[in-house]
Structure 1
Amino acid sequence: MGISAFIDAVEDREKSVTVLNRESVDPLYRMLDGMFDNDNVAVTENQDPDAPSDVVLLRDKQTGSLAISQMDEISETLLLVNSDLYVTGTVPLEEVETPEVVAHLSDVTFTVSDKQKFLLIHISRHIESLALETDGGILHSSFQQLSRLRDERGTADAYRTLADSGVDVHVYGVGGWEPPAFADRLSVHAGSTPELQDSWFVVHDGNGDENRMAALVAEEIGPNEYRGYWTFEPRLVREILGYLETQYV
Structure 2
Amino acid sequence: MSLIEIIAGVESHEATLTVFDDDPAVARTLAEHFADRNVRVVDGSTDGGPDGYAVLSRDGEFVTAVGVEELLPAHSTEIGDPSAPDVDGGIPEDPTTGRVGEPVLDHLDETMFTSYSRGDMVAASREIEDRAWRVGRGELHAGFQTLDVLTGETNTYDRLGEKPELDVHAYATDEGDAPNADYYTVHVARSAEIRETWFVAFDGDGLDEAKCALLAEERAPGEFYGFWSYDPATVDTIIDHLVSRYWSSETTDDGDDGATV
Pairwise same-fold verdict (TM > 0.5): yes
Partner of 1:82: 81
What is the identity, as a one-letter code, of the residue corresponding to 2:155?
D
5 Å-filtered alignment, 1:1-249, equals 1-10=1-10, 11-14=12-15, 33=32, 37-38=36-37, 40=39, 42=41, 61-62=57-58, 63-64=63-64, 74-75=76-77, 78=79, 82-83=81-82, 85-86=83-84, 91-94=85-88, 95-97=90-92, 98-100=95-97, 101=102, 106-114=109-117, 118-151=119-152, 155-165=153-163, 166-181=165-180, 183-249=181-247
Change (3 A) 1:99 1:186: same
Q: C-alpha deviations, 1:78-100, integer Å up to 9, x for none?
A: 2xx632x14xxxx1313112343
What is the identity, as a one-letter code, of the residue corresponding to 2:217?
E
Q: Is the 8 A contact 2:133 2:160 kept in 1?
A: yes
Write the distance in 2 (CA, Å) between the matches of 1:135 and 1:70: 37
Change (3 A) 1:233 1:106: closer
Length, aligned pairs only: 210
SS at match of 2:158: helix
Deviation at 1:41, TM superposition (A): 5.5
Q: C-alpha deviations, 1:139-181, integer Å up to 9, x for none?
A: 1100001222323xxx333212211113111000112433444
**Is there any run of 5+ residues in structure 1 with no aligned partner, and where?**
19-29, 44-57
SS at match of 2:137: coil
**Is there any run of 5+ residues in structure 2 with no aligned partner, and where?**
20-28, 43-53, 248-261
RMSD between superposed Cα atoms in Å: 3.4
Change (3 A) 1:159 1:39: closer
Write the distance in 1 (CA, Å) between the matches of 2:64 and 2:142: 32
More helix by share: 1
Identity among equivalent positions (%) equals 26
Q: Is the 8 A contact 2:143 2:170 kept in 1?
A: yes
What is the identity, as a one-letter code, of the residue corresponding to 2:8?
D
Q: Is the 8 A contact 1:12 1:40 kept in 2?
A: no
Write the distance in 2 (CA, Å) between the matches of 1:175 and 1:3: 19
What TM-score do the two structures reach when normalised by structure 1? 0.70
Q: Is the 8 A contact 2:215 2:226 kept in 1?
A: yes
Change (3 A) 1:132 1:15: farther
Q: Is the 8 A contact 2:36 2:115 kept in 1?
A: no
Q: Is the 8 A contact 2:14 2:38 kept in 1?
A: no
